[in-house]
Amino acid sequence: MARLSLRFACTALAATLALLAAQVSRAQAGAPEGATWLNQQIGSKGYLEGRNGAPDGTNTAYAVLALYSAGQGSEAKSAVKWLHDHIDDVVTSGGTDNPASLSILIMALRAAGESVGSLITRLQQTQVTAGPDAGLFGGADPTFDGATRQGLSLLALASVGQKNAPGTDWLVRQQCADGSWQSYRTNITQPCGPTDPTHGTGPDTNSTAMAYQGLKVDAVAPPHDPIAWLATNETPDAGWSFYGGAPGSPDANSTSLVIQAIIASGGDPNALPWARNGSTPLSRLGQFQLPSGAYTFSGGSQTIVAATVQAVPAAASKIFPLPAAATPLVGDSGGSSAPWIVLIVLVVLVVLVACAAGAAVLLRRRRLTPAT
């Protein structure tokens, strides 16, 4: 009976270690290093710095998503606490709530297991209810961010299990005939115009990737295939620029968002048809990472916070919304998950010691037992 119990314990331990190894292997190279760099920048102050050293609330919320994506959620405690204490600073711009920032905050706090009910209400209150833009989140000019903030808003609502038909209807109406999205179409009765980087207009990869993910999470299929359009606009070295196409120079942000769209579609960014000329989207993304763990935008040695917060979840092959933590990281019902990690490690060590001791006893008995 003792042998059976020992064998069962050792088998269970082996299965646990195999599961942990499998979970680690799913995270792509670069994500843990990027998350560690972000955590170092956050430090005890609880936020990422923006211009002139001022707190950057939106990137701080995105960094929380990056930390959870890379399996370092327990390290996000100071950032989550800062976000709790500065909600209006994060989401309010010009006296009104910014739906994109609000959505990223919702997903970050939700990933940390925090309550977001009041924030969901605030997001819903930004939605336009009448006129040609009925269903759009946010009343501010959508010229340069309409499709992106709409996709983010739908993802945020999905983090609490909500769908939004007016929001998906708006996105479907905005889609171009070739499967892409541009930031905003002022007149949906007219075809989408050509890409014009000089004036910042025309279809782009970022709007397309975010719009698609927003529809996908609500199980809405757009009339035209956006994944095919993204494939057509992949660069020869398996990356994406903002406007797409072979002549464009890929950047970390665009490549990251498209990787997430590919994963959301059920595709594998490490396989065909995305692998090109010996490179894959994930390996191309890795080329933007610096030795420090941070990512640069399109090359060089300058660390870019905005590139890093978006690159880490993609490098970890995670899509939004992330699952909610079972225990709040900062809220009233709990704290950091670190104690649980310590407990698990202790249990594993105890079982390892027991296995080793048991094996030694069995070996000794065999040596002392005379041969028959």
pLDDT of the chain along its 372 residues, tens only?
444 444 544 444 444 333 333 333 334 579 999 999 999 999 999 999 998 899 999 999 999 999 999 999 999 999 999 999 999 999 998 899 999 999 999 999 999 999 999 999 999 999 999 999 999 999 999 999 999 999 999 999 999 999 999 999 999 999 999 999 999 999 999 999 888 888 878 999 999 999 999 999 999 999 999 999 999 999 999 999 999 976 679 999 999 999 999 999 999 999 999 999 999 999 999 999 999 999 999 989 999 999 999 999 999 999 999 999 999 999 743 333 344 343 344 444 544 545 555 555 445 555 555 554
DSSP string, 305-320: HHHHHHHHHHHTT--S
Angle at 24 between CA 18 and CA 26, to 5 degrees: 105
Q: What domains can be seen in the chain, in order of their start residue?
A: 31-338 (1.50.10.20)
| Cα–chain center distance at 23 | 16
97-132 as b/e: b if 16+ CB within 10 A: bbbbbbbbbbbbbbbbbbebeebbebbeebbbeeee
Query: Whole-prediction pTM value?
Result: 0.82
Q: Give which of 78, 147, 155, 85 is closest to 112, Cα–Cα.
A: 78
Residues constituting the chain: 372
The two three-digit tokens of residue 279, written as one number:
């490179």
Residue type, 319: I
Q: What is the pLDDT of residues 175-212, one digit of tens each?
A: 999 999 999 999 999 999 888 888 878 999 999 999 99
Q: Return the amino acid letter for 206.
A: N
146-158 vs 117-125: helix axis angle to the nearest 10?
Answer: 150
Q: What is the pLDDT at residue 240?
A: 97
Residue 356 CB neighbour total at 10 angstroms: 11
Summary mean pLDDT of the chain: 87
Closest CA relative to residue 93, chosen from 105, 108, 82: 105
What does the DSSP 8-state code read for residue 132?
Answer: T
